[in-house]
Amino acid sequence: MAHLVFDAVTVQYPVYGVRARSLRSQLVRISTGGRIERESHGVQIVTALREASFALTDGDRVGLVGHNGAGKSTLLRAMAGVYRPAAGRIARSGRIATVFELGAGMDRELSGYENIIRMSLLLGLDLAEIRARMDDIEAFTQLGEFLSLPVRTYSTGMATRLMFAVATSTRPDILLLDEIVGTGDAAFQEQAAQRMASLISSVGIFVFASHDTAALKKYCKRFLRLEHGVVREVGADEI
C-alpha cells in the first residue's frame, strides 16, 4: 500500500554571492520560491517549504496549486527524495516515478534505442524492465527505423515523442507530475493525454502541479495550495 507522509517538513537552500536586496528583487523568478531567512557572509538562506504536514494514501489524486515561485516544484522534489528536509520527517512507501523535465539524461549523439536505455536507467528501471517495455515505447514513438539513428537527426517533435514515451513507460505506486506535456501536433497531444490518463489510473497516489485549473479538476480530488512555501489544503472552489 502506497503512502506519503510529511510531518512538519521544512526545506531550505543557500544562495551564494547575491546581495539580499538584489535577491529580493529577483526572488519571484526562482522556481523553488520561498522566503529569505538570514544572510551571512554573502550567503542567503531561503526557506522554500515551511513546516508542511499532510498524509497521502492509496487512491489520493492531489493537485498542487499556487503562483510561480510558491514552492510547488520544491514540494514535488521533496516528495521524490531529491531535496532532503532541514527539519521534520518524510515517510514514503511504494515506488515513486517522476515526470518533471522530459529528456533528463538524453544524449543527442546516441541513438534513440541507446537513449531509451539511458533515460530508463535514470528513472530507476533495470534492464529486464526496460526490455519488457521496449515494444510499448517503440509503438508510441512511431519513429520506426529512426530509433537506430542519433537523436541529433530528429526534429523537435520526434525527440518529444521519444522523451515522453520513456517518461511514461513506468508503472509506479506514486506518480509525481509537474505540468502535462503541451508540445507537439494535435494528434500527438491527444495520444499523450490518453497515455497519461492510463498511467494516472494505474497508480496508487498521483500528485500533479499545474496552473491549468481544468486539468487539475479533471485529474484530482484533493488540492494543496502553496504560498511562499506554506502548504494548506483547499477545496476545488479555491483553486
User: What is the chain's pLDDT, residue by residue, as a tens digit (239 residues)?
Assistant: 899 999 999 999 887 765 555 555 455 445 445 555 655 566 778 888 999 999 999 999 999 999 888 889 899 999 999 899 999 999 999 989 887 766 677 899 999 999 999 999 988 889 999 999 999 999 999 999 999 999 999 998 899 889 889 988 888 899 999 876 655 677 788 888 888 889 999 999 999 999 999 999 999 999 999 998 899 999 999 88
pLDDT of residue 25: 46
pTM over 0.85: no
Grid cell 510561480 in the structure block, residue = 68
Same domain, 15 and 90: yes
Domain co-membership, 67 together with 134: no
Residue 37 lies in a domain: yes
Residue 43 covered by a domain: yes
Of all residues in the chain, what percent are helix, strand and coil, respectively (each to 5)? 40, 30, 30
Q: Indicate whether 183 belongs to any domain.
A: no
Q: Three-state SS for 93?
A: strand
- 127 touches 116 (CB < 8 A): no
DSSP letter (8 states) at residue 66: -
Number of CB atoms found within 10 A of residue 145's CB: 7
* pLDDT value of residue 89: 97
- Check which CATH number belongs to the domain holding 22 and give it: 3.40.50
| pLDDT value of position 36 | 58
The verdict on 73 and 8 lying in the same domain is yes
Domain of 133 in residue numbering reads as 110-167
Amino acid of residue 226:
L
Residue 184, domain member (yes or no)? no
Domain count of the fold of the chain: 2
**199 in any annotated domain:** no
